[in-house]
Structure 1
Amino acid sequence: MTKKSSPIVGRSRGQAVTEADIELMNAEAEVGYDVTVAKSRGGRPTIGSGPATVVPVRLDPELRAALDARASADHRTASEVIREALRQFLHTA
């Protein structure tokens, strides 16, 4: 994507981006893209019956260490362990 004669102005996904790259991308965007061949990008998978909400929670260092240890032992994420614990505590499916 980069040209040696054009100075690097930034990076995108670890790749150097030059003024020439920006001009090329701008020209492509102005022409337009065929939406029938555009790749569909997946989002986060659903985890329940509807859209999920984020609930920030503060954990003391000991509780966080215990959570991380459990998640590691179960080969799961901390979020999965928290959701399972809440379902069991609240007696929901």
Structure 2
Amino acid sequence: MPVTEEQIAAWAAEAEAGYDIDALKKRGRGRPGRGAEPSQVVALRLTSEELAELDALAGRLHKTRSELIRAALAAYAA
């Protein structure tokens, strides 16, 4: 859809009036961070049976798959 002169004028007026920086910062996208540094996504292959068991346990414990996997890794590393 083409941008109209009216849209450009409205955007310019909004910019000239100033933006609320705090409001803009609150509009983050994506998943929330887990720490000060970005997290890395790691792919993991599971059989359908393993995935079903993981999901069942997650449901019983009211946790996510990721939470269970991180807890298992932490317990294994301890």
What is the identity percentage for the equivalent residue pairs of Structure 1 and Structure 2?
Answer: 32
> TM-score, normalised on structure 1?
0.58
Superposed counterparts of 1:14-93, under 5 Å: 26-31=8-13, 32=15, 34-35=18-19, 37-38=20-21, 39=23, 40-41=25-26, 42=28, 44-46=32-34, 48=35, 50-91=37-78
Higher helix share: 2
Structure 1 residue 64, shift from structure 2 partner: 0.2
Distance 1:58 1:84, change over 3 A: same
Deviation at 1:77, TM superposition (A): 0.6
Structure 2, gaps ≥5 residues long:
none
How many residues align structurally? 69
CA RMSD of the aligned region, Å?
2.5
